[in-house]
Amino acid sequence: MPTDPLLTYRVEDGRDVPLLVWRLDRPALAVSSGPLGGGIGVRHWVVNATVPMSYGRDDPDVHLGELADLLDLRGSGVGLLTGVDVAEVVTAGEAGVRVWATIGLGAPIWAAADPAPGAGHVDPWPVGTVNIVALLPERLSDAALVNAVATVTEAKAQALRELGLPATGTATDSVTLLCPPDGHPAPYGGPRSRWGAPLARAAHRAVRDGGARPTVPWSHR
C-alpha cells in the first residue's frame, strides 16, 4: 500500500507538467470516480495529473493510459486530472486513515443548481477540480466503499461551507479510496462508522486547509 505519492513531471508543448504517482507495493481494492480505472476493482497505481485549463481532449481515459505507459506503470490503475499544480497536494491523516487532496475551486457550483442555459447534457465547466485520494488500513465491503465515497463528499461540502464558499464542489471533482483487498470486510463506511469517521475528519481537514490557500491554475502561471 502507498505511503506518499511521488511528484514527477512530463514534457508537453515544451513545458514540464507535474504528476503525482502512487506506486502501490501491493494491489489495493479501490473505488473511484476517475476517468481511468473508475468503479470498484483491484488497482496497482494511481496518477493525479495536472493539465492546462485549456484542456480539450474528449478521451481523458486514453490520455491517462498514455501517461501510465510513459511512467512504466503496470497493471490496472486509476487516473485523475486537474487544472491545479499537483505539487500543492494537501495531506491529512487520522487513526490510520490517510488523505491526499488537490484543491481547485475556480469553478464552484451547487450540485443541484440548474445547468447553464444551452448546456444540455454536456459538461461546460473548465478543469479545476477537487481530487481526493484516501487510504484506509482495513478492507471495506463494496457497499461500505460506496458509502465512504458519500462520506468524503459530505466532508468536502462541510469544509467548503466553513470556508464561506457557496458551493458543494466543482463539476469535475473526483474521489478515489484504497483499502487492502483481503481480510474480513468492514460493513460500513458512513460518517459514524469505525473507518468513515476518521476518513470524514481527514478529508474535511485536507479540503479546508487546501481551500484556504490562494490557488492559481497551473497554466495561468
Q: Are the beta carbons of 124 and 116 closer than 8 angstroms? A: yes
Q: What is the tens place of the pLDDT at every residue in 92-113?
A: 999 999 999 999 998 889 999 8
- Enumerate long-range contacts of 108-111, CB under 8 Å, 24 or more apart: 108/160, 108/165, 108/166, 108/167, 108/169, 108/170, 109/167, 109/168, 109/169, 109/170, 109/171, 110/166, 110/167, 110/168, 111/168, 111/169
Q: What is the tens place of the pLDDT at every residue in 37-62?
A: 999 999 999 999 999 888 889 999 99
pLDDT at residue number 121:
46
Residue 207: CB atoms within 10 Å? 28
CA-based nearest residue to 4, from 129, 94, 92, 131? 92
Residue 28: CB atoms within 10 Å? 25
Q: What is the tens place of the pLDDT at every residue in 144-198?
A: 999 999 999 999 999 999 999 999 999 999 999 999 999 999 999 999 999 999 9
What integer is the mean pLDDT of 205-216?
Answer: 91
Cell matching residue 9: 513531471
Q: Are the beta carbons of 151 and 196 closer than 8 angstroms? A: yes
Identify residue 37 by its one-letter amino acid code.
Answer: G
